Chain A
Amino acid sequence: MSSRTPNQKAWWLVLPVVLLVAFNAVIPLMAVVNYSVQETFGNNEFFFEGVRWFEQVMQSSRFREALTRQMFFTAVVLVIQVPLGVAIALAMPRRGIGVSICLVLMAMPLLIPYNVVGAMWNIFALPDIGLMGRGLNTLGFDFNYTRQPTAAWITLVAMDVWHWTSLVVLLAYAGLSAIPDAYYQAAQIDGASRWAIFRHIQLPKLKHVLLIAVLLRFMDSFMIYTEAVVLTGGGPGNATTLLSIDLVKIALGQFDLGPGAAMSLVYFLIILLLSWLFYAVMTKGEER
């Protein structure tokens, strides 16, 4: 063994990343943790409160209702968008000019700023001047999303489906394109039906991109804020007040820093836990 003097200067090379992570993630998160255990009455004076805000959040029916709405929204969105996205990807052309046209069309909703999406649908669904709202009323439906919770929910879900299904489509299309021709050729020779090809070749090969699609759509839909606020503002009443909307009302509207911080942390842990669950369930049995 040769005795060398270790050169400790290399630690400086890590500094940029440490700073980035610190200011980007650790310090803000610790600030939230800090707020979540304290009470303030202004003047920059803080009093330690322990876990009181957490107890309050967990026991509040307001939080539980928002959480229920959030879960419902995410579940509906996933159930519609994932199968729909796969179906559209399957129907898209494999070669020729149609591929580019479809890809551009599909990418379009993803490129529109969130608040613009909200504003578009806000106007689109208005019962007096919006194409959709006016159209539905002309057809004899009583549709007014500013007053009816059901109508508000339908508009909200329709907007999210319009905005985000393309993401699933693009991921699934990429996954489908990666399947070598030999699989389809072998299936043809084996006399497989269209359904058998989907069930035994395409679906298994899509498994990994679908896992990513489900995770992304779960996290994004669970954190949805901008479009929903612009569209319904959480109303009518609290009918579409999702977790993030409620959080903003508490933290910034009422300026309850402690409860807001505690709620943020619970919100964060729920997303972490559910993401892990999705991942664990979908990759189960893969490693041996």
Chain B
Amino acid sequence: MATIRFEGLHHSYRPAPRDDADADWALRGLDLEWGDGGAFALLGPSGCGKTTLLNLISGLLKPTRGRVLFGDDDVTRLEPGERNIAQVFQFPVVYDTMTVFDNLAFPLRNRGVGESEVARRVGEIAAMLDLEPTLGERASGLTADGKQKISLGRGLVRSDVAAILFDEPLTVIDPHLKWRLRSKLKELHQRVGRTMIYVTHDQTEALTFAEQVVVMLDGQIVQSGTPVELFERPHHTFVGHFIGSPGMNLLPCEVDSAGAARFAGVAVPTASRGAGSIRGKRLELGVRPEFVRFSETGIPVRVERCSDIGRYRIVDLAHGEHKIKMLAAEGVAVPSESGHVTFERHRTQLYADGWIVE
């Protein structure tokens, strides 16, 4: 078991990628370190490079540039079978003609493990995954979630596995089983203490599974942090918008000579202090709907719609052409036509060209 580290990782699917053309690259320079035994998630929209990164870790792809290190060992050029990793794919992969037992035993037998040890390990893992009753059955007869458990089991069964990688493993699972399998994963992580890396475009999956979430966009890491950090202090407007439901409000703004942000002629206090290098950049205010409040003074708004979603109501507001969403808790009075709002200062950030102003 070991930490997983990337150094200057670049990858391109083209034979001769040009350095100055971003479009040529699937990954554009990643530096990151993941501690041993953690639960990590790679989150991002389709095509952001998260699966590429996963395949670089498992060795199915070799990076165009940069290094992958497990602990102090450089594994960049090692084949998948030589690395201590296991991978669960989007679609369940089982060996159809084998029984569930033989499926689970396959990675061990390929590595020349003795039969008594095989039986012991398989028994242990089958118990953990609730696969015991089906051990003697053909794997092809199982349901999708059963098959996905086998894929996972083939990773868990190896004692040498340092990390288990998941590539959107719940895509083909029925909704009611998704929840069960997800809790199972969480439980397993706590029991076996292996590093788990989970790729998904679903924020709920990422945020519930992982201790640390890496948000990717266009082949780059935009932010890496705990779910709380991503929620409270998004480093990029993309993170603000992608995480949270509804996402962060983004409003174009100006900064006056005193360094205060102004929207609609109203000064808006923010958590951002330094306003050093924002000259000539596109400025935006970012505030989550959770931190918008009605008040006597502030930004004048029209109330357009109010939808009840249970414990909260989503209120659609508008100032001119700019839409603002807010979450109003039970008991908060919502004006029928118009009113004023303020933003909670410590949860309001200034963004310049998409990136946070510290």
Contact = CB atoms under 8 A, between A and B. Distances in A.
Does A pair with B? Answer: yes
A288 interface: yes
Contacts of A205: 96
Contacts of B96: 204-205
Interface stretch (B1-9, B79-87, B334-342): B79-87
Contact of A182 (B79, B81, B89, B106): B89
Chain A: interface secondary structure?
A: helix
B97 A186 contact: no
Contact of B93 (A183, A191, A288): A183
Contact of A192 (B58, B87, B91, B110): B110
A94 to B, nearest CB: 15
A183 B55 CA distance: 14
Contacts of B89: 182, 185-186
Contacts, number: 54
Given A182-B93, A185-B87, A190 B141 contact: no
A200 B95 contact: yes
A201 interface: yes
A190 B154 contact: yes
Q: Report which residue of A185, A189, A288 has the largest number of chain B beta carbons within 10 angstroms of its beta carbon.
A: A189
Contacts of A188: 60, 79-81
A206 B151 CA distance: 21
A31 B121 CA distance: 69
A111 to B, nearest CB: 35
A186 to B, nearest CB: 4
Nearest to B55: A185
A56 B85 CA distance: 71
Contacts of B85: 189
Interface in A164-208: 180, 182-183, 185-186, 188-193, 196, 200-201, 204-205
Contacts of A192: 81, 106, 110
A190 B60 contact: no
A100 B294 CA distance: 67
Contacts of A196: 106, 110
B81 A189 contact: yes
Contacts of A200: 95, 97-98, 106
B86 A189 contact: yes
B270 interface: no
Contact of A180 (B60, B91, B111): B91
Contacts of A182: 89-91, 93
A23 to B, nearest CB: 45
11 contacts: A182-B91, A183-B93, A185-B58, A186-B151, A188-B81, A190-B107, A190-B110, A192-B110, A200-B97, A204-B96, A205-B96
Interface of B: 55, 58, 60, 79-81, 85-87, 89-91, 93, 95-98, 106-107, 110-111, 141, 151, 154
Given A190-B107, A288-B141, 11 more contacts: A180-B91, A182-B91, A185-B60, A188-B79, A188-B80, A189-B60, A190-B110, A191-B107, A192-B106, A196-B106, A196-B110
3 A-B pairs with the lowest CB-CB distances in the bound complex, closest first: A191-B110, A191-B81, A182-B89
